[in-house]
């Protein structure tokens, strides 16, 4: 349904807004060739799981990634305060 405001048309979206991305769990699996794959699973089926790959040389980054999203203190996370962790249920 479209409405007019001062010569401007606005339209309502027929698609409902997706719920907030809330982290339900993280899954850690070995990566072929070394390292790990960390997969984020969300509470809503409308958000597909998202995977992050870390090579065996990126262990410190993998730990920082886990700490950030789990809300745990970690020296690398303290340096990267610009991004907030995803909400965790």
b vs e for 6-17, b when ≥16 Cβ sit within 10 Å of the residue's Cβ? eeeeeeeeeeee
The answer to whether residue 53 sits within a structural domain is: yes
The answer to whether residue 16 sits within a structural domain is: no
The answer to whether residue 43 sits within a structural domain is: yes
Residues 1-47 have pLDDT tens digits of 555 556 666 666 677 788 888 999 999 999 999 999 999 999 999 99
For the entire predicted model, the pTM comes to 0.66
Residue 71: give the domain boundaries. 27-81
Higher pLDDT among residues 75 and 39, named by residue: 39
The answer to whether residue 39 sits within a structural domain is: yes
Report the domain count for the chain. Answer: 1
Higher pLDDT among residues 43 and 81, named by residue: 43
The answer to whether residue 18 sits within a structural domain is: no
β-bridge partners, 23: 42, 88
The answer to whether residue 62 sits within a structural domain is: yes
CA gap 43, 56 in Å, rounded: 29
């Amino acid at each position: 349904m479209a409405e007019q405001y001062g010569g401007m048309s606005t339209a309502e979206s027929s698609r409902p807004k997706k719920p907030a991305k809330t982290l339900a769990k993280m899954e850690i699996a070995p990566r072929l060739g070394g390292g790990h794959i960390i997969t984020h699973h969300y509470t809503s089926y409308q958000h597909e799981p998202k995977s992050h790959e870390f090579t065996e040389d990126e262990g410190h980054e993998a730990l920082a990634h886990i700490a950030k999203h789990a809300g745990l203190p970690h020296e690398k996370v303290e340096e990267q305060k610009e991004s907030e962790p995803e909400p965790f249920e």
